[in-house]
Structure formats: C-alpha cells, structure tokens
Amino acid sequence: MSGTDSRRGAAASRRGGRRPAGRGPWAVLCAALTVLLGPAAVTASALDQANAAPMHHPGITP
C-alpha cells in the first residue's frame, strides 16, 4: 500500500468515516430512470409471455 491510500483513508475518517461516492448527475439520473422504468419493463415482459401462450378455450379439451 502506498502512503497516498493511507492519507485518503485518514481524510475520509475525519469527514465522517465515508469516502465520497463519486455520484454525478448522470448516475443519479440513471438510478431514477431505473426505479421508474424497471416495473414497466417487467410488466411488458410478462404481457409478452402471456400473449405468446396458447389461447385457452373453456369447454374444449384437446
């Protein structure tokens, strides 16, 4: 380990024990879109699978 790493760790511990996460505005935007669009993608996938299934005809037995 170099002395630079230990100095960063010491500085991080003085700031509250956490190193900066490095999240920029793009990372925040992508996370928000994932939260908003994730359920829609799952629903669309389930609907595609349901549409691909053979039709059910009550009263008719194969």
The predicted model gives 31-45 an average pLDDT of: 90
Residue written as tokens 């009550």? 58
Strands (E), the chain: none
Does position 16 have pLDDT exceeding 70, yes or no? no
Note the pLDDT tens digit of each residue in 49-61.
988 888 877 776 6
| CA 57 to each of CA 26, 29, 47, 54, 61: distance values in angstroms, whole numbers, following the listed order | 49, 46, 19, 9, 8
Task: Give the DSSP H or E segment for 15.
Answer: none
State what percent of residues in the chain have pLDDT above 70: 60
